[in-house]
Amino acid sequence: MRVSWVTEDKHIQSVVEYGKAAGNYTASATGDHTSYRYFLYTSGKIHHVKIGPLDPATVYYYRCSMAGDEFSLRTPPAALPIELAVAGDLGQTEWTASTLSHVGRSDYDMLLVPGDLSYADAQQPLWDSFGRFVQRYASRRPWMVTEGNHEVEAAMALPCWPRPFTAYTTRWRMPYEESGSASSLYYSFDTAGGAVHVIMLGSYADFNSSSEQYRWLARDLAAVDRGATPWVVVLLHAPWYNTNAAHEGEGEAMRKAMERLLYEARVDLVFAGHVHAYERFTRVYNNEANPCGPVHITIGDGGNREGLAFDFRKNHKLARLSVMREASFGHGRLSVVNATAARWTWHRNDDADSTVRDEIWLESLAANGACRPRPGSNGAGAADSPNDEL
């Protein structure tokens, strides 16, 4: 696990003490630190420390910089089942607080965020306030994130202008090097003892067939053994399938470039943000229902300051593939039960309790004999039934 925090004091050490009992730290780890400038703004000292090896499904108590408050975290399990919460386009509004409160009311193992975290939009102190805003939750469970358009924070390619994604990549260090990626904007990781492979793609990094991201994705997918890893999940920011007027078509170029890779690898689900609403599609490939394609879900309804995207197009060409759509703030949960079955639920904030507004049971495509690629078929030859429910 990597622990990250920011201090105003530039002389504080990048050390985390930890143990399995409150106040009893039996181990410690030293990491590194960095900072950045953004015009007149200078960040605090940003610490990143890896702790471990850690036991799975275990609560650890820890303290940063050998002083101050004690926190606790729980490591993910080493095998299925696992509960993955998903929420995109967070921001730091009352709706965001409601979303995170709903997430925290029920147990989960990890939070996945498909982009747009702080909505700082170059106002760097908002990155600091966002860290304080989410600390209660992010200090207890791993948060795995990818970037959105609000993380770019660079409008002009001038020598004096900060590099794109400076604040995001400096503060939210993800395991890109560990997954063989050359960029912090896309990476992958395994969880539940390798039963679930999660790929974080970069909607705002080059993605055409000659790009490094494309080549990395092809290598990453080819290395997955679906016998040992029955579930593959992808997150990105700009949705490839969308019937909302908001951001219509913005993910189309990336879909055309990369969709075949995901289809041939039998990726199970694709989560996106960007559109501030909820939408779930049937299994789909190349704009047609396909029982061996991924389920695409837009979940950019975490609570951003820009409001909801209400304009779903009734006569949109993809409306026949859209199973559920609603403009409400909320979050989702992917409960991977075993090697063949997973339950997806969406919970909206409008309900006082975490009420399930959408639900589907999914069968892993690795377990579906009709979807196993035949030699020389390039992933073709799937069954015709669009039913992906158990």
Phi, psi at residue 348, to the nearest 5°? Answer: -95, 150
Q: Which residues pair with 281 in a beta bridge?
A: 322
Q: Which of 33, 48, 247, 274 is catalytic?
A: 247
Which residue type sits at 5? W
d(CA 273, CA 112): 11
| Residue 257, CA distances (Å) to 142, 203, 386 in order | 31, 12, 24
Burial of 225 (0-12, 13-18, 19+ CB in 10 A): exposed
Residue 247 falls in the annotated catalytic set: yes
Q: Is the dihedral of CA 126, 130, 132, 133 positive or negative?
A: positive
Residue with tokens 């089942």: 81
Whether the CB-CB separation of 80 and 338 falls below 8 Å is answered with yes
> What is the CB neighbour count within 10 angstroms for residue 14?
21
Mutual angle of helices 125-138 and 94-105, in 10-degree steps: 20
Whether the CB-CB separation of 357 and 347 falls below 8 Å is answered with yes
> What is the CB neighbour count within 10 angstroms for residue 364?
22
Q: Which residues are catalytic?
A: 247
